[in-house]
């Protein structure tokens, strides 16, 4: 059985000697960590205005300045993702996917839970934002290793012709994590009074990440190494010392940049529509916190609903055509969507349907995305390569989204900034998607 890449080569061929044994546990183990990771990142984004008040607002500071600082902490965590991707990806390509996936979920779960017990600025003073930022850095570091290992695990267990669908489970659990974060944040903000939410209620969503994190740890402790990695280890052992070269660093680096460009639209549009939207509605359009959080739920529902069908469709027509359709649609529809949200005469139902459709369009990019990245790199550098591409794209276009949008709106007064941001990133992503891949990575 051969692993055929998008350029038609069979790098990483398994020669038919190691049959795939895809199991529910392998898919669950690979995807549940993403749920925990993106649940927390979603909660942080959805509760950004509350966290700004609790951690980044000394006496006399403005709410907008505090929100910018909150998003700066958010962005800093993303810039530690490439470092985590390089370290954990290299380990996963050397010692296996399983041990690395166990380590990163343990680190992520511990850091998330500790955020829920941190002292606030009122208690610890200037130490509070530094403690929060430190835990965010640990989360970003562990998340950098999560994506590469999880995608490699699921796509390497996938049967022939189903890598798009199997890889889409990674994105689907990201959607479930964001949807869970939106739902928990919205319920918490609805059930509790504003004073209760600000006093202690914001802690609950972070503490609720502990149980699924422990489940993920248990699932990963019980999985086997992927068939493709085991076969590569047998080939390396048979070749003896020096029998396998490291390959050209230049082609790999160029492919990482191309891969990052292909998913930058997914990163930017996803965070703009799915995470930053509540804070944008509150800060720029002066929407009530409960309404802003509830407005994000249909966007995440649409996102989740589109991912698996998009991954399955990519198994039939190819990854790039499906992702290109999503990028072009976002580039063309982002401004009209935000104009609709800004229109006070538009009904809540119409706005909900519009955000749901926006989420679904992002799902067209997220569904095939993991398999596309996996197919751009051979097994020996797959975790490192796809992890770096994804984390670099997320660091620049996801992690900085809230900071860039909030600061740009504050400075210019232009409430269309989020639409321009998402549209520009998707236009650039579309150009990268039509570019042919390198053929000599392996």
Q: Using CA atoms, how far apart are residues 194 and 178, in angstroms rounded to an integer?
A: 22
**What tens digit of pLDDT does each residue of 194-224 get?**
889 989 999 999 999 999 899 999 989 888 8
CATH number of the domain bearing residue 183: 1.20.1250.20
Helix 163-191 and helix 289-317: axis angle, to 10°?
170
- 18 within some domain: no
**DSSP states of 379-412 as a string?**
GGGHHHHHHHHHHHHHHHHTTTHHHHHHHHHHHH
Q: Residue 133: what are its φ and ψ, rounded to 5°? A: -65, -40
Q: Using CA atoms, how far apart are residues 66 and 80, in angstroms rounded to an integer?
A: 22
Q: In this predicted structure, which of 223-237, 282-296, 383-397 has the lowest mean pLDDT? A: 282-296
What confidence category does residue 442 fall into, taking pLDDT thresholds of 50, 70 and 90?
Answer: very low
SS3 (DSSP) at 164: helix
Q: Using CA atoms, how far apart are residues 99 and 108, in angstroms rounded to an integer?
A: 15
Looking at the predicted structure, is the pLDDT value of residue 101 above 50? yes
What confidence category does residue 241 fall into, taking pLDDT thresholds of 50, 70 and 90?
Answer: low
Comparing 4 with 392, the larger pLDDT belongs to 392
- 237 within some domain: no
- 441 within some domain: no
What confidence category does residue 249 fall into, taking pLDDT thresholds of 50, 70 and 90?
Answer: low
What is the mean predicted confidence (pLDDT) over 227-237?
83
- The whole-number pLDDT of residue 425 equals 96
What confidence category does residue 275 fall into, taking pLDDT thresholds of 50, 70 and 90?
Answer: confident
Q: Using CA atoms, how far apart are residues 192 and 203, in angstroms rounded to an integer?
A: 12
What confidence category does residue 175 fall into, taking pLDDT thresholds of 50, 70 and 90?
Answer: confident
- 347 within some domain: yes
List CB contacts of 106: < 8 A, sequence separation 6 or more.
213, 217
Tell me which residue of 216, 181, 223 sits closest to 202, measured CA to CA. 181
- The whole-number pLDDT of residue 202 equals 94
Provide the mean pLDDT of the chain. Answer: 84
Under 8 Å between Cβ of 189 and 293: yes
What's the number of domains the chain is made of? Answer: 1
Q: Using CA atoms, how far apart are residues 42 and 175, in angstroms rounded to an integer?
A: 10
- pTM comes to 0.82
- The whole-number pLDDT of residue 211 equals 92
- The whole-number pLDDT of residue 8 equals 38
Looking at the predicted structure, is the pLDDT value of residue 52 above 90? no
Give CA separation, 191 vs 104, 196, 276, in Å: 33, 10, 22
Q: Using CA atoms, how far apart are residues 163 and 253, in angstroms rounded to an integer?
A: 24
Looking at the predicted structure, is the pLDDT value of residue 19 above 60? no
Q: Using CA atoms, how far apart are residues 371 and 313, in angstroms rounded to an integer?
A: 12
Q: What percent of the chain has pLDDT over 90?
A: 44
Looking at the predicted structure, is the pLDDT value of residue 49 above 60? yes
Looking at the predicted structure, is the pLDDT value of residue 107 above 70? yes
- The whole-number pLDDT of residue 151 equals 93
- 242 within some domain: no
- 244 within some domain: no
Comparing 387 with 349, the larger pLDDT belongs to 387
- The whole-number pLDDT of residue 1 equals 36
Q: Using CA atoms, how far apart are residues 53 and 62, in angstroms rounded to an integer?
A: 9
What confidence category does residue 375 fall into, taking pLDDT thresholds of 50, 70 and 90?
Answer: very high
**DSSP states of 283-332 as a string?**
HTT---HHHHHHHHHHHHHHHHHHHHHHHHHHHHH-HHHHHHHHHHHHHH
Tell me which residue of 421, 280, 440, 313 sits closest to 376, measured CA to CA. 440
Exposed e or buried b per residue across 10-40, where buried means at least 16 C-beta atoms within 10 angstroms of its C-beta: ebbebeeebebebeeebbbbbbbbbbbbbbb
Question: Of 211-220, 285-294, 317-326, where does the model show the most confidence?
Answer: 317-326
List CB contacts of 130: < 8 A, sequence separation 6 or more.
none
Residues in the chain: 442
- The whole-number pLDDT of residue 417 equals 92
Exposed e or buried b per residue across 88-123, where buried means at least 16 C-beta atoms within 10 angstroms of its C-beta: bbbbbbeebbbebbbbbbbbbbebbbbbbebebbee
What is the mean predicted confidence (pLDDT) over 6-13?
40
- 440 within some domain: no
Q: Give the range of the structural domain holding residue 162, as residue numbers without chain letter.
A: 24-232+249-434
- 413 within some domain: yes
Under 8 Å between Cβ of 27 and 154: yes
Q: In this predicted structure, which of 19-33, 78-92, 98-112, 264-278 has the lowest mean pLDDT? A: 19-33
What is the mean predicted confidence (pLDDT) over 407-414?
86
The angle subtended at Cα 418 by Cα 171 and Cα 57, nearest 5°, is 95
What is the mean predicted confidence (pLDDT) over 12-21?
41
């Amino acid at each position: 059985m051969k692993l055929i890449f998008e350029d038609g080569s069979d790098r990483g061929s398994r020669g038919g000697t190691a049959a795939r044994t895809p199991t529910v546990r392998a898919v669950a183990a690979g995807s549940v960590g993403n749920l925990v990771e993106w649940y927390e990142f979603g909660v942080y984004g959805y509760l950004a205005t509350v966290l700004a008040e609790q951690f980044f607002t000394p006496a006399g500071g403005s709410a907008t300045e505090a929100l910018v600082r909150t998003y700066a902490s958010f962005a800093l965590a993303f810039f530690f993702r490439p470092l985590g991707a390089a370290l954990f990806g290299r380990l996963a390509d050397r010692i296996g996917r399983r041990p690395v996936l166990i380590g990163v979920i343990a680190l992520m779960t511990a850091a998330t839970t500790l955020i829920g017990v941190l002292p606030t600025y009122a208690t610890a003073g200037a130490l509070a934002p530094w403690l929060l930022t430190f835990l965010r850095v640990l989360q970003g570091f562990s998340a950098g290793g999560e994506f590469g290992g999880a995608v490699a695990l699921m796509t390497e267990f996938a049967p022939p012709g189903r890598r798009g669908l199997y890889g889409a489970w990674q994105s689907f659990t990201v959607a479930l994590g964001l949807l869970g974060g939106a739902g928990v944040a919205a319920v918490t903000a609805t059930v509790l009074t504003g004073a209760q939410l600000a006093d202690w209620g914001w802690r609950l969503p972070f503490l609720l990440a502990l149980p699924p994190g422990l489940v993920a740890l248990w699932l990963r402790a019980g999985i086997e190494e992927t068939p493709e990695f085991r076969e590569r280890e047998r080939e390396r052992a048979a070749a003896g010392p020096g029998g396998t070269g490291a390959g050209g660093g230049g082609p790999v680096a160029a492919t990482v940049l191309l891969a990052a460009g292909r998913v930058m639209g997914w990163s930017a549009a996803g965070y703009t529509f799915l995470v930053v939207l509540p804070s944008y509605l509150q800060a720029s359009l002066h929407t009530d916190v409960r309404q802003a959080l509830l407005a994000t739920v249909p966007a995440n529902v649409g996102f989740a609903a589109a991912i698996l069908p998009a991954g399955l469709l990519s198994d039939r027509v190819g990854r790039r055509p499906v992702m290109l359709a999503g990028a072009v649609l976002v580039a063309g529809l982002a401004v009209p969507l935000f104009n609709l949200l800004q229109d006070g005469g538009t009904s809540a139902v119409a706005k909900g349907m519009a955000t749901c459709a926006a989420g679904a369009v992002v799902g067209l990019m997220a569904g095939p995305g993991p398999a596309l990245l996996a197919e751009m790199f051979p097994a020996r550098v797959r975790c490192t390569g796809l992890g770096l591409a994804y984390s670099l794209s997320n660091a620049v276009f996801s992690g900085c989204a809230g900071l860039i949008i909030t600061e740009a709106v504050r400075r210019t007064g232009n409430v269309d900034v989020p639409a321009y941001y998402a549209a520009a990133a998707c236009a650039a992503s579309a150009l990268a998607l039509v570019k042919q891949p390198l053929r000599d990575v392996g």
